[in-house]
Homo-oligomer: A and B are copies of this chain.
Amino acid sequence: MDGPLKNLLVLDLTRVLVGPYCTMMLSDLGARIIKVEAPEVGDDSRKFGPFIEDYSAYFMSLNRGKESIALNLKNEDDKKIFDKILAKADILVENFKPGTLEKWGYGWKDICTKHPRLIYASASGFGQTGPLKELPAYDMVVQGMGGLMSVTGQPNSEPTRVGTSIGDITAGLFTTVGINAALYDREKTGKGTFIDVSMLDCQIAILENAIARYLAKNEIPKPMGSRHPSIAPFEAFKTKDSHIIIAAGNEKLFEKLCNVLNIPEISKDPKFNTNSLRSENMDDLKKILEDKLIVKNTGEWVSEMEKEKIPCGPIFNIKEAVENPQVEARNMIVKAHHKVIGDFKLAGNPIKMSNYKDQKTRGDIPDLDEHREKILKEFNN
């Protein structure tokens, strides 16, 4: 891939989601990724569904375009190979439990003197420091402990997880920000750096309204279904055939909305004429709006409201989301190749940069240890 990180080599010790998501982004930005996997088993996620003919679509979607070599970092011969790749690497990324790489002699402190330009990024459940650092964590554990699950769901419903592994993904994103900032820093200082990202920390960093509410007002926010805690109207409403999302929090948009629904008097009503008042009286307002919305289908309302530039939209399932012409136009569904399965579709890169072409394909899916010979030949010199 051409991109801002071309000519950079990433030594990728990551498994499952948080780390592979980060190195996938580095790959999309143009870096070369050598993925080091445990012999025989490889990345755990090679066994996670959904599968196509025994191959994990989950693994494939995260590891396209990476090269794979199987190395046992407790074995002296394998360590020699690893050392040779390491000597040429710009970036090392890992998401083992803190202390694991130290045990094998590859902790940041063990290798930073020998490799002062290396950028070394560790993503972990709780971070490299603090009382919980030794504990393992997966996505859901940090969605729960980070407070996000306490504000997601219907009022009084059973616990509700965000339907994607947002604990991993946000930590993968913050790690990628850190690595890119460290690359810039290295240009200025000549020095690498150690980056320590904790999935739990990242959950705290994305709580926005909820944490502001607690820290400022001592209120403990609760799940509100589809409703926004401080902008109104900003939620899903029933229509004749399904639901429509309307986000019309400011006075101008609310007035337009009332006009489209043919209830202009409501926008002047002293119960509803500011955002704060609408937030307070949202239960009443919802009834008034749904009385009108229920007479037409979502599609009809969306076209009427889009004409007035009122932010609104349907709730798409995954098929509808992927088939949206806007998603197609933005090249957000790309292809990669697998030697058995053939071409395979996956999500694209949302960072569109004018200096580089946003490719329609990604590199091939690696089998475990597929690139051993090529890598040995290249790095043995």
Question: Quick check: which of A77-85, A287-295, A321-329, A368-376 contacts chain B, the rest being far away?
Answer: A321-329
Asked if residues A325 and B225 are in contact (CB atoms below 8 Å), the reply is no
Asked if residues A333 and B215 are in contact (CB atoms below 8 Å), the reply is yes
Distance between Cα atoms of A184 and B29 in the complex (Å):
11
Q: Which of B60, B209, B324 contacts A145 (CB 8 A)?
A: B324
Distance between Cα atoms of A209 and B165 in the complex (Å):
8
Looking at chain A, what size class is its interface with the partner chain? Answer: 35 or more
A355 interface contact, C-beta 8 A: yes
Q: Given A236-B159, A315-B159, A350-B202 in contact, is the A228-B131 Cβ separation under 8 Å?
A: no
Distance between Cα atoms of A185 and B140 in the complex (Å):
36
Q: Which of B126, B144, B216, B318 contacts A147 (CB 8 A)?
A: B318
1/0 contact string of A205-227 vs chain B (CB within 8 Å): 11111111111110111011111
Secondary structure at chain A's binding surface: helix, strand, loop or mixed? mixed
Task: For chain A, residues 105 to 161, give those with C-beta under 8 angstroms from any C-beta of chain B.
Answer: 108, 125-132, 134-154, 157-161
Asked if residues A353 and B245 are in contact (CB atoms below 8 Å), the reply is no
A273 interface contact, C-beta 8 A: no
Task: For chain A, residues 312 to 347, give those with C-beta under 8 angstroms from any C-beta of chain B.
Answer: 312-322, 324-327, 329-330, 332-333, 344-347
Asked if residues B247 and A141 are in contact (CB atoms below 8 Å), the reply is yes
A5 interface contact, C-beta 8 A: yes
Question: Quick check: which of A32-40, A67-75, A169-177, A263-271 contacts chain B, the rest being far away?
Answer: A169-177
Asked if residues B146 and A316 are in contact (CB atoms below 8 Å), the reply is yes
Asked if residues B184 and A187 are in contact (CB atoms below 8 Å), the reply is yes
A61 interface contact, C-beta 8 A: yes
Q: Which of B108, B177, B204, B311 contacts A177 (CB 8 A)?
A: B177
A57 interface contact, C-beta 8 A: yes
A299 interface contact, C-beta 8 A: no
Asked if residues B138 and A234 are in contact (CB atoms below 8 Å), the reply is yes
Asked if residues A147 and B317 are in contact (CB atoms below 8 Å), the reply is yes
1/0 contact string of A236-250 vs chain B (CB within 8 Å): 100000010101011
Not counting A29-B181, A153-B157, A180-B184, a sample of 8 additional A-B residue pairs whose C-beta atoms are within 8 angstroms of each other reads A3-B181, A131-B325, A135-B309, A138-B247, A148-B162, A173-B174, A185-B355, A196-B353
